[in-house]
Amino acid sequence: MSFPGGSVNDLVVFENPFPASLSMLSVSMWFQMDPAKVGEHTLLSYATPTLNDAIVAMLKPDQTQICIYNNWGEKAKYTDPNQLITDSTWHHLAFTWESVTGKVVLYIDGIRRGEKANVATDETIDDGALVLGQDQGSYKGRYNPKQAFKGNLTSLNMWDKVLTASEISDLARKCPTQEGNLLTWTKLMSQQKL
């Protein structure tokens, strides 16, 4: 899926893409960003009517930041001092979260790069909107061109469980054939709404 303009019009919206009250989540995707675009690149955001930015996967020039928000805006992030992810080649990104401990783990190209505990502990992810290519400043709205993704995205899959480091490493090493049990790239492509 291509996001050529890096504008507020370059996005894809999916309403209620998975069941409410989700207490575990794994996300896997491949991306290629355009390093010529200055600023933030939002790969995906998930918001509910009561919580904008429930989940945000954002790339900045010097870091990859995965946010699983609760009332305090907690996040896990990986600072990339060598800017390895902004080199215009394809990279694999995955992250996991589970509610009991609130543990978020971030993987880049199959390698564990960041971890944080107590993020949205004992909370669930409810019905909402998944937006690819843009951060939601409000539920399905208030898009900011400075946060738009410019590049390509493929093989986005989501699971309602925490994938192991080995499973994520496998997804990052070869062409992904394993699809999510919660949301699949095939389903996303067939239901695409621009």
pLDDT tens by residue, 12-45: 999 988 887 899 999 999 999 888 888 888 999 9
- For residue 33, the Cα-to-chain-centroid distance in whole angstroms is 14
Give the per-residue pLDDT at 69.
60
Distance of alpha carbon 60 from alpha carbon 20, whole angstroms: 30
- For residue 169, the Cα-to-chain-centroid distance in whole angstroms is 17
* Residue showing tokens 């690819």: 132
Q: Which two tokens stand for residue 149?
A: 């993704």
CATH code of the domain made up of 2-189: 2.60.120.200
pLDDT band at 126 (very low <50, low <70, confident <90, very high): confident
Distance of alpha carbon 178 from alpha carbon 56, whole angstroms: 23
83: burial class by Cβ within 10 Å (0-12, 13-18, 19+)? exposed
- Considering only CA atoms, which of 30, 33, 32, 31 is closest in space to residue 176? 30
Give the per-residue pLDDT at 178.
83
Q: Does pLDDT of 131 surpass 70?
A: yes
Give the per-residue pLDDT at 136.
92
Q: Does pLDDT of 48 surpass 70?
A: yes
Q: Does pLDDT of 194 surpass 60?
A: no
Give the per-residue pLDDT at 125.
86
- Considering only CA atoms, which of 173, 143, 119 is closest in space to residue 40? 143
Give the per-residue pLDDT at 74.
64
Mean per-residue pLDDT over the chain, rounded: 86
- Considering only CA atoms, which of 149, 180, 176 is closest in space to residue 41? 149
* Residue showing tokens 């070869």: 174
Distance of alpha carbon 194 from alpha carbon 192, whole angstroms: 6
Q: Does pLDDT of 7 surpass 90?
A: no
